[in-house]
Amino acid sequence: MLSNCIKNLLDLKDLNVKSVKNFKNSVEIYAEFPKSEHICPCCGTLTSKIHDHYAQPIKDIPVQFKPTTIFLRKTRYECKSCGKIFYPQNDFIAKYKRKSKRLIYFIVNQLKNNIAASTIAKNVNIDAGFISKILSITNTTLPRVLCIDEFKGNSGQYKY
Ligand SMILES: [Zn+2]
């Protein structure tokens, strides 16, 4: 019940939130994907056999204006049929590893509002070079269309 309230508050409905640490200058969220059955990318068999777990820090949108990191415990599954070991697909982590999709969307939105890359970098505690990389991608005509499509598809509650 309390966990659901926290998930709602953080808009992390796809994750199980285990704990939240609220520091003076940062927030840490400890979470994991719920266990479920997944389709083997190799042979298509459904499997729920767990191989192992791996915790990865994922930068996320600021909570209470503080840079926020989700320590996300990911589960690797093992196919009972062909033995393939794999991470299930997820809609939360961006293709730029170690960042959530909604963080990328947040950065693009800030850039659109003419907020300086250095300010954004400070607010979310990531490398300014990464912001410049996003800026250069969004400034290029063709990838811009692809980007918008991608963000639109995954932006959750945010209206584009
Ligand atoms: Zn398989």
- Per-residue pLDDT of 76-120, as tens digits, reads 999 999 999 999 988 899 987 799 999 999 999 999 999 999 999
Model-level pTM? Answer: 0.79
Residues 6+ apart with CB under 8 A from 3: 16, 17
pLDDT for 28-37, tens place per residue?
999 999 999 9
User: What distance in angstroms lies between residue 52's CA and the mean position of ligand 1's atoms?
Assistant: 16
Residue 67 CB coordination number (10 Å): 20
Are 148 and 105 contained in the same domain?
yes
User: What distance in angstroms lies between residue 56's CA and the mean position of ligand 1's atoms?
Assistant: 25
Measured distance CA(99)–CA(154) in Å, rounded = 14
Tally the domains of the chain: 2
Structural domain including 147 reads 101-160
Are 75 and 118 contained in the same domain?
no
User: What distance in angstroms lies between residue 51's CA and the mean position of ligand 1's atoms?
Assistant: 13
- Sign of the C-alpha dihedral computed for residues 8, 12, 18 and 19 taken in this order: negative
